[in-house]
Structure 1
């Protein structure tokens, strides 16, 4: 398969976009970002920036012409626009399209009460409390036994994996790739945090069955934050089975898993 050299990134100013762009540049790709016309986002000097009407297929076709690959890193409501992005890429004869599916395996997700998932991004999760850990106040919530394995991925690592996948087009074409910085449990994270801060965390035990009830109540009231309870249950419930256990692509991509301890140290530093 011919090498892919020119890559366009949609949603490049969001949470995941910047590390993907940086990884592509580091790997030697020629990068173009495609943003909304009104966007004020800035990008590295060696990135071509195209500001277009993202609701216009014609504008999108023109924007992606000549590109070998298009990567979507959009999130939230913009995910619904991906069909338009794909249609434009097909018309422009783009060789590879990577959709914004950087999260839980939506083909096999145990819950169906929610639509789109945010991936368990480990560093952000530790800083923002999603994993049940409040580093600033030295507290944590342990869901069920705390021994359910889950796979966490640093944003920068996702960027490296995307770049590596495009660098090996033949080996990765039309495949669902499962990647993770590491597979861990809440109790393992707790142990490392306590070792790094030199004191114990105050623990609150939470039943994920209670989270489901809270989520149902919120959903009945059209409260979108029900997503938090449903996602926590889906990832951390005993027997959830969301960890990356097969077809892990890290080895195929020529990468190595990352260090939980280094990630914890970075998260602690970010809260100080």
Structure 2
């Protein structure tokens, strides 16, 4: 068996945005896989980490970022959707610090699709980040973008009608009669995919990859929720076209609390392919050695978090 050279291995990984929802999952999965993990945090951040985690403070200036990235093999970005443009400065610093791999903050549907910004305006900045990373390939920085379809437990935790579900007054908007398939991925699976990416460097180099926990339809989700609880959802017919218009209007008004979940939901159930990779996730799961996860187990955890069971 050929032993990979040190130039082609990843050992030291820094997580950016580790104080958010998904950051702690990345830290845990990377540590479990044997990587040395540190964190990049703003100087003003009050997030706390285990004593074993080195925290590099930054004011996002070029010098402070380069210093934080010295000796780092890979950067995993988990910055919030509305802050993805901050990654430009991080990419520049990563190049100077000779970082080998950069994982931009994706972890949703395929933001590279044409005309997606007409449904989900936040996709524009994500596209721009990938295009910027491509310009750095010749300077030694490689990248991997991870698309996960519907970020399952995260979206249900976010609430605000994401994926068409409302829990306070149980109802669901069914799009296309609820039969359109989605790739759904849990935070656990996304964390495993990040770690596996660094164990499959050549296969994932300068590529968008697709992963999932399972494929599922809206109808299957609501049926499972009802089977596991004593609750019933009031089912209504939803229109993707109407939801796109409503989401755009709210975003133009600056109401992202409504506009963001509306635009994400519209994108997931649109015919763009944003939420469904047509088999590519299954192939990448095999390549990365990712496990299958259970809709019923994940649904049970979501319902427990809602106090339904």
**Common fold by TM > 0.5:** yes
Aligned residue number for residue 264 of structure 1: 299
Flag the 1:267–1:110 CA change in 2: closer, same or farther, 3 A.
farther
Aligned residue number for residue 65 of structure 1: 70
Q: Following superposition of structure 1 onto structure 2, how do residues 33-182 of structure 1 map, counting pairs within 5 Å?
A: 33-54=39-60, 56-108=61-113, 110-113=115-118, 114-116=120-122, 120-127=150-157, 128=159, 129-135=161-167, 137-182=169-214
Q: Secondary structure at the match of 2:280?
A: coil
Residue 132 of structure 1 contacts residue 141 of structure 1 at CA under 8 Å; is this kept in 2?
A: yes
Residue 162 of structure 2 contacts residue 262 of structure 2 at CA under 8 Å; is this kept in 1?
A: no
Superposed CA offset, 1:177-207 (max 9, x none) = 1111111110111111111114532212222
Which of 11, 14, 25 is the aligned partner of 1:19? Answer: 25
Could you say which structure has the higher helix fraction? Answer: 2
Question: TM-score, structure 2 length as denominator?
Answer: 0.81
Q: Secondary structure at the match of 1:145?
A: helix
Higher relative contact order (CA 8 A, sep 6+): 1
Question: TM-score, structure 1 length as denominator?
Answer: 0.91
Residue 110 of structure 1 contacts residue 234 of structure 1 at CA under 8 Å; is this kept in 2?
A: no
CA distance in structure 2 between the aligned counterparts of 1:53 and 1:197, rounded to whole angstroms:
47
CA distance in structure 2 between the aligned counterparts of 1:240 and 1:115, rounded to whole angstroms:
14
CA distance in structure 1 between the aligned counterparts of 2:83 and 2:268, rounded to whole angstroms:
24
CA distance in structure 2 between the aligned counterparts of 1:185 and 1:112, rounded to whole angstroms:
24
CA distance in structure 2 between the aligned counterparts of 1:270 and 1:179, rounded to whole angstroms:
24
Unaligned stretches of 5+ residues in structure 1: none
Superposed CA offset, 1:212-231 (max 9, x none) = 23224334434333233222
Superposed CA offset, 1:145-196 (max 9, x none) = 2111111211121111101111222222222111111111101111111111
Residue 77 of structure 2 contacts residue 104 of structure 2 at CA under 8 Å; is this kept in 1?
A: yes
Q: What value does the CA root-mean-square deviation take over the aligned residues?
A: 2.0
Which of 232, 239, 244 is the aligned partner of 1:200? Answer: 232
Aligned residue number for residue 141 of structure 2: none
Q: Secondary structure at the match of 2:55?
A: strand
CA distance in structure 2 between the aligned counterparts of 1:29 and 1:112, rounded to whole angstroms:
36
Q: Secondary structure at the match of 1:74?
A: coil
Q: Secondary structure at the match of 1:131?
A: helix
CA distance in structure 1 between the aligned counterparts of 2:121 and 2:172, rounded to whole angstroms:
27
Q: Secondary structure at the match of 1:204?
A: strand
Deviates further, 194-203 or 2-11: 194-203
CA distance in structure 1 between the aligned counterparts of 2:166 and 2:290, rounded to whole angstroms:
30
CA distance in structure 1 between the aligned counterparts of 2:151 and 2:273, rounded to whole angstroms:
17
| Superposed displacement of residue 20, structure 1 | 0.6
